[in-house]
Amino acid sequence: MIVCFDIGGTAIKGAVATGPDDISQFPRIPTPASDFDAFVAALRTVIDAAGGQPDCIALSIAGIIDPDTGCAVVANIPCIHGRPLAADLKAALKLPVVVANDADCFVLAEAGLGAGRGHRVVFGVILGTGVGGGLVIDGRLINSDGGFAGEWGHGPVAATEAGNPPVHLPRFACGCGQKGCIDATCSARGLEKLHSHIHGVTLTSEEIIEDWSKGDAAAVRTIDVYVDVIASPLALVVNVTGATILPVGGGLSNARALLAAIDDAVRGRTLRRFSRPIVVPAECRMEPGLIGAALLGLNAATAAG
């Protein structure tokens, strides 16, 4: 039995899993963001309610585990930020603990139970408030010990000219401290910045996509530029990793026509030619972070014997 958690800045989602297809969720509880003892106590309430001795505790966090130190980098939950989280929780709970980034848990869920089933190499893509990703090979996270693999949204690689005809683009500042990241240009907020730069009009990403679906000329131009910017980095991801499927989650994944346009552009730029879509909507629409955490824990328990 695994007790798993999806840790957010405002709420903790918990569940008990006895197998990949047997995951029972508990009611959400508030996240004690500034008190580690209270944070542990909140986890313990779910563990106690599970009705038995868990083999493992598994957490999905909106942050990164530094592979050199084992410390968590979680800006929105101060009580776990900078801690060797797995070790501290193991000491407090007296149980084995595994921790992974939420994007890694997302792709683990998609590889095991979603659009990535049957694929050896799965690269999960997050297109929402931010741009992120994760990589699973042969059912295992490449980030088994933490790390930044899969963070294709960061790095100064966004095109400074895109679209047909080309439009000049600035190197938008990114929250990571760099300029010209895909995260800054192709997240939901990035799409809004693109539209404002090209047309001098401020719209939400939802409004831009709705206008695009209606054939609005300004939105069509923006989406043409957006797809051109995002397709080449994604094609490079496919070339480097050998991924044969890229399930997409996050708010922008709800725009199925947008994903189809991205897929068409990506498949035109990869070395390997695919006759089927590879950029596809995620199938684990309900709590993928929690499902991924459950699979993470089940894998860890199996490996421990």
**Rounded Cα distance, 138 and 160, in Å:** 36
Q: What is the pLDDT of residues 75-100, one digit of tens each?
A: 889 999 999 999 999 999 999 999 99
**HSE-up of residue 74 (Cα within 13 Å, Cβ side):** 28
Q: 34 with 122, same domain?
A: no
50, 71, 101 — which closes off a domain? 101
Position 146 pLDDT exceeds 90: no
67: exposed, middle or buried (Cβ count in 10 Å: 0-12, 13-18, 19+): middle
Position 155 pLDDT exceeds 80: yes
* Per-residue pLDDT band at 21 (split at 50, 70, 90): confident
Q: 124 with 30, same domain?
A: no
Position 143 pLDDT exceeds 90: no
16: CB partners within 8 A, 6+ apart: 1, 2, 3, 4, 23, 24, 26, 50, 51, 54
Amino acid letter, residue 107? V
Average pLDDT over residues 212-237: 98
- Say what the pTM is: 0.92
15 found inside a domain? yes
pLDDT at 194: 97
27-36, 143-152, 250-259, range with the lowest pLDDT:
143-152
295 found inside a domain? no
CB atoms within 10 A of CB 266: 24
Going by C-alpha positions, the residue among 131, 143, 137 that lies closest to residue 234 is 131
Q: 199 with 84, same domain?
A: no
160 found inside a domain? yes
Contact indicator for 37, 13 with CB cutoff of 8 Å = no
**Rounded Cα distance, 158 and 179, in Å:** 9
**Rounded Cα distance, 171 and 188, in Å:** 16
pLDDT at 195: 98
276: exposed, middle or buried (Cβ count in 10 Å: 0-12, 13-18, 19+): exposed
Q: 48 with 130, same domain?
A: no
Quote the percentage of the chain above a pLDDT of 70: 100
**Rounded Cα distance, 109 and 136, in Å:** 10
**Rounded Cα distance, 115 and 108, in Å:** 11
290 found inside a domain? no
105: CB partners within 8 A, 6+ apart: 6, 60, 134, 288, 289, 290, 291, 292, 293, 295, 296
Q: 152 with 177, same domain?
A: yes
Average pLDDT over residues 118-128: 96
Contact indicator for 86, 162 with CB cutoff of 8 Å = no
pLDDT at 211: 98
Structural domain of 147: 115-281
Q: 122 with 215, same domain?
A: yes
- CATH classification at residue 241: 3.30.420.40
152 found inside a domain? yes
Task: Name the packing angle between helices 256-267 and 205-213 (round to 10°).
Answer: 80
Task: Name the packing angle between helices 205-213 and 217-241 (round to 10°).
Answer: 110
Q: 63 with 96, same domain?
A: yes
How high does pLDDT run on average in the chain?
94
Q: 120 with 232, same domain?
A: yes
**HSE-up of residue 161 (Cα within 13 Å, Cβ side):** 3
Q: 39 with 155, same domain?
A: no
Q: 261 with 127, same domain?
A: yes
Position 286 pLDDT exceeds 80: no
pLDDT at 198: 97
Q: 97 with 221, same domain?
A: no
296 found inside a domain? no
Q: 123 with 238, same domain?
A: yes
Cα 137 → chain centroid:
16
The total of structural domains in the chain comes to 2
302 found inside a domain? no
Average pLDDT over residues 185-212: 97
* Per-residue pLDDT band at 48 (split at 50, 70, 90): very high
Query: For residue 187, what are its two tokens?
Result: 């997240």
Residue 155's DSSP bridge partners are: none
72 found inside a domain? yes
pLDDT at 19: 86
Position 236 pLDDT exceeds 80: yes
